[in-house]
Structure 1
Amino acid sequence: KLLDAGHTDKFGAPTPTPVNHAEVEGKCILVSGHDIADLEKLLEQTEGTGINVFTHGEMLPAHGYPKLKARFPHLAAHYGGPWQLQNFDFAKFPGPIIMTTNCIMPPRPKYKHRLFTVGATGFPGCTHVSHDDFSPVIASALAEKGFTKTAEPKTYLTGFGHEAVLGVADQVIAAATAGDLKRIVLIGGCDGS
């Protein structure tokens, strides 16, 4: 409850929002894990650099916070799948990767030099970002090739927080009662599998 209130107070109540999950041309950084505060600090430090920031895995809900999206247009897209596919996703991402809280797997040699950790997350041989200084990550992004083209946009919808859902509860109940709604699927948890 406290985490929800903190995020909502700072970034606005999650709102249903389409999120691109295709490549966007340019230098890029990928942020995975759960810590939206780390994402915000990175977005602040990458403003005006031309670097696009992508989310991964459990960071997808960040796109549903309206104040975060409005303030940082370089929060470009979501990349890859759930945390358990990170070895596959990270190997193909053409820029540095930041791993925030939870879910780090032993990195493969192909991308270990581009994997940065922050906060309580760490792994031997990976660079740890300290004092919220993302300059080593930014330097890595500028040195890597980034995405060489923008792909045809593909979107998911995210941002279905409890306020958004409760705001249409009467319509959902009416549709179910009228037989217009055949099934409801609720996906909960954070593992994305």
Structure 2
Amino acid sequence: MNTIALSGTPRTNLGTKYAAQLRRTKQVPCVLYGGESTLHFSVDGAALKKLIFTPELNGAEIEIEGRKVLAMVQEKQFHPTTDEVLHVDFVELKENEAAIAKLTLRLKGQPIGVRKGGKLAHTMRKVRVSGLPAKLPGYLELDVADLDVNKAIQVSDLKFDGLTVLEKESDVVVAVKMAKKKEEEAAAGAAPAAAKKAEAKPAAKK
């Protein structure tokens, strides 16, 4: 994953009143968990945009009073009627400890089933995984070129280098289904063929 540098300013005054004051100066209240102690700090709102407004996972290198910490976003809060970021929780990443992240799943290739007239159903667009920080990518990619009509890829089929998938193994990730109109056309075409076959069959001897 890519890493975005952030400069944090420690904050000692906590609570709704002081958080509102920070937001009026375009600062976003943040909390860093996972270290020796919980750190409360603020970050420039504009600097957070590259980290927040993206479907990809990015790490954050947060510098607070000369100390740099590698972290990732754990939770974020937005204004109910705008896209303004109100608060961000970070979790510190440790080089030799696995971290859990929910990554965007991108599909690669056009399924053979779609070329036959089927319809692609991408039901799982984010996948929860566990892995060392160095192994966490910005997103996951799944090749679906060989996926045929009425076939599906389940969580148990997913394999990503250095990562453990944490979703339920039986859940469907992506499938190709025959479009309803195509099914009706196929059924309509099969009926006359079946009737002709029945007519051509010799009568049983008595």
TM-score, normalised to structure 2, is 0.19
Q: Which has the higher contact order (CA 8 A, sep 6+)?
A: 1
TM-score, normalised to structure 1, is 0.20
Greater helix fraction, Structure 1 or Structure 2: 1
Q: Which has the larger radius of gyration?
A: 2
